Structure 1
Amino acid sequence: MTEIKNIGGFCDTDDTGYIINTACTRKISPAFHQVLNEMIQYYRMQLGKNLHSIYVRGSVPHGQAIYSVSDLDTLAIVNEEVDSMDLQWVEGIEQKINEKFPCINGVEFSFYLMEDVLETSTFSIIPFMLKTHSVCVYGEDLISLLPSYRADKTLANHHLINLKNQVDQAKKDLDDNYDTEDILDCCSWIMKIIVRAGLTLVMVEEKRYTRDLYPAYKLFSQYYPEKEPEMKLALQYAIEPITDTEELLHFLEQTGTWIITEAEEWLEIYNPYRVSEMELR
Structure 2
Amino acid sequence: MEHRSPGAGVGLAPDGTILREGSLARVQPEFAAVVEAARTRIGAAWGGRLHSAYVYGSVPRGTARVGRSDLDLLVVLREAPAPADREAAGGLEAALDRDFPVVDGVGVLLFDAATLLSELERHDLGFFVACLCTPLLGPDLAARLPRYRPDTLLARETNGDLALALPGWQARRASARTDAELRALCRVAARRVVRTGFTLVMPRWGGWTSSLDAQAEAFAGYYPERGAAMRRAAGWASAPTADPAALAALLDDLGPWLVPVYRAAHGPKAPRPPAA
For the aligned pair, the TM-score class normalised by the smaller chain equals 0.7 to 0.9
Alpha-carbon distance between aligned partners in 2 of 1:276 and 1:210, rounded to the nearest angstrom: 26
Does the alignment pair 1:271 with 2:270? no
Contact 1:156 1:203 in 2 (8 A): yes
Query: What is the CA-CA distance between 1:229 and the residue it aligns to?
Result: 1.9
Q: What TM-score do you get using the length of structure 2 for normalisation?
A: 0.86
After superposition, the Cα gap between the structure-2 partners of 1:160 and 1:127, relative to the gap in structure 1 and judged at 3 Å, is closer
Structure 1 residues 102 and 205: alpha-carbon distance in aligned structure 2, compared to 1, 3 A threshold: same
SS in 2 for 1:175: helix
Query: Alpha-carbon deviation of 1:220?
Result: 0.8
Normalised by the length of structure 1, the TM-score is 0.84
User: 1:20 is matched with which residue?
Assistant: 19
Task: Give 1:106's aligned residue.
Answer: 105
Matches within 5 A, 1:1-281: 12-83=11-82, 85-120=84-119, 123-245=122-244, 247-249=246-248, 251-266=250-265, 270-271=266-267, 275-276=270-271
- 1: distance between equivalents of 2:71 and 2:219? 28
Cα RMSD for the two superposed structures: 2.3
Q: Which residue is 2:5 aligned to?
A: none
What amino acid maps onto 2:40 in structure 1? Q
Contact 1:54–1:136 (CA under 8 A) maintained in structure 2 = yes
Q: CA deviation at 1:190?
A: 0.7
Code of the aligned partner of 1:271: G
Preserved contact between residue 118 and residue 145 of structure 1 (Cα < 8 Å):
yes
Secondary structure of 2:19's match? coil
Unaligned runs of 5+ in 1: 1-9
Most deviating of 120-129 and 90-99: 120-129
Deviations 1:7-43 (A, max 9, x none): xxx8521233101124222222232222122222221
Q: How many residues align?
A: 264
Aligned partners of 1:194 and 1:234 also within 8 Å: yes
Runs (5+) with no aligned partner, structure 2: 1-8
Contact residue 68 and residue 102 of structure 1 kept, 8 A: yes
Distance 1:77 1:234, change over 3 A: same
SS of structure 2 residue aligned to 1:242: coil
Overall identity of the aligned pairs, in %: 26
Compared CA separation, residues 196 and 113, structure 1 to 2 (3 A) = same
1:221 and 1:227 in contact (8 A); partners too? yes
Q: Is the partner of 1:77 in helix, strand or coil?
A: strand
